Amino acid sequence: MKPKQDSKKMYTLEKVEQLNTISQLNIESSGKDNRNITDDGTSQSLTKEEIIKLKDESLSSADIVGKLINNSKTFSSKTEYSQEKYMKKKEKKYFEYVQFRKPNTSSFVNRLYGLRIDDISQILTYGNIQADGNFILYDSGTSGLMAASILNAIGANTEGSLIHMHPGNECQKNAVLALQFPQEQLERCINVNLYSVLRCFECQKNAVLALQFPQEQLERCINVNLYSVLRCFYQNESSYSEVKHEQKEDCETENIEETTENISTKRKLSSSGGDNENPAKKACWQYDNEKACKVLTNKVDGLVITCKEHPVNIFKELVPFLT
């Protein structure tokens, strides 16, 4: 990093092939102990203005530390450990290099949600995370760290998949995006809302059960409200006939209105060509729900819950999907 001429807080970056570090400095002598060294602020002969001038001259950190050592009255009297500690401290202060590294799960640990690397390793072990399995993750507070860890453990070009459930409209996937997984690996991570996917699964389950009965048998199953049918049954015959007559008149009126609406609707469709219009497309979250339901139908191999709320109710809802 080289400071700009007009600003002291802005720097320009230049790519270098070799770093100049304090390891290149040769320390000739050192003391046996530090008993005779007093920290009175007079050991350094360079002033603050002179040190700032050295930084403005774009000198390397090794050069600046070397000048500080040469102008220090007590450095040669310090022990080797104290000298090494002093040089590392000054190098960290005047270090002008920036290193760009590829992120991994270890780099996010202790920065997000207070998870340690051993916590994540135990969760992955107890969760039975494998490359060819299907897994459920309910996450509501790790900024996608657990999802990234599980997805990384599943690996690329495998048959494993992850259903990433979340309580809100959008899942937390900062860590997943930061790790820059391949596209095919990201497609095997299905992000769905917990309540939405459970409702979709129940609807599909009920639809499958309904298809097992013939239509004429389903028509002979009359679904009524208990209190409504009892109230209707105990009404006297006269009031029942009056109600029936009124309902008949209402039905005739509704039929006339529906006929009028149908005629107007047909005219609009014929004028605008509505028969040729494409049907409404499904939202992305609906496709994700259907994709997740297919995986849940075949059961999953592991379940991981990392949330701030109490997990008992969530566990009861998701544990039936385990094999």
Residues 146 and 137: beta-carbon distance below 8 Å: yes
Residues 314 and 138: beta-carbon distance below 8 Å: yes
Tokens of 284: 């992305």
Residue-wise pLDDT for 200-221, tens only, equals 888 877 765 555 666 676 677 6
State how beta strands 134-139 and 161-166 pair.
Answer: parallel
* In the chain, where the domains are located: 2-94, 105-205+284-321
Spatial distance between the Cα atoms of 197 and 290, rounded to a whole number of angstroms: 8
For tokens 């040469």, the residue is: 70
Residues 153 and 290: beta-carbon distance below 8 Å: no
Phi, psi of 131 (to 5 degrees): -75, -25
CA 161 remoteness from chain centre: 16
Alpha helices in 189-236, H assignment, sequence order = 194-210, 215-219, 226-233
What pLDDT sits at residue 63?
Answer: 81
Per-residue pLDDT of the chain (323 residues; tens, 9 = 90+): 666 767 667 777 777 777 666 666 777 778 888 887 877 778 888 888 888 788 777 677 778 888 888 888 888 888 888 888 888 888 888 777 777 778 888 777 766 656 788 888 899 999 889 888 999 999 987 888 889 999 999 988 898 999 999 998 888 888 888 888 999 999 999 999 999 999 988 887 776 555 566 667 667 767 666 656 666 776 655 554 554 555 555 555 555 555 556 556 555 555 555 445 555 677 888 899 999 999 999 899 999 998 888 999 999 999 999 98
What pLDDT sits at residue 184?
Answer: 93
From residue 148, how far is each of 243, 293, 305, 308 by CA, in Å? 64, 22, 14, 18
Spatial distance between the Cα atoms of 112 and 144, rounded to a whole number of angstroms: 9
What pLDDT sits at residue 312?
Answer: 93
CATH code: domain 105-205+284-321 is 3.40.50
What pLDDT sits at residue 275?
Answer: 47
Spatial distance between the Cα atoms of 69 and 63, rounded to a whole number of angstroms: 10
Alpha helices in the chain, H assignment, sequence order = 48-56, 61-70, 80-94, 105-108, 117-126, 145-154, 174-178, 183-187, 194-210, 215-219, 226-233, 237-272, 284-297, 312-318
CA angle, 171 as apex, 114 and 144 as ends, to 5°?
30
What pLDDT sits at residue 73?
Answer: 84
Residues 149 and 302: beta-carbon distance below 8 Å: no
For tokens 């509505």, the residue is: 274
DSSP H or E run through 285: helix 284-297
pTM over 0.85, yes/no: no
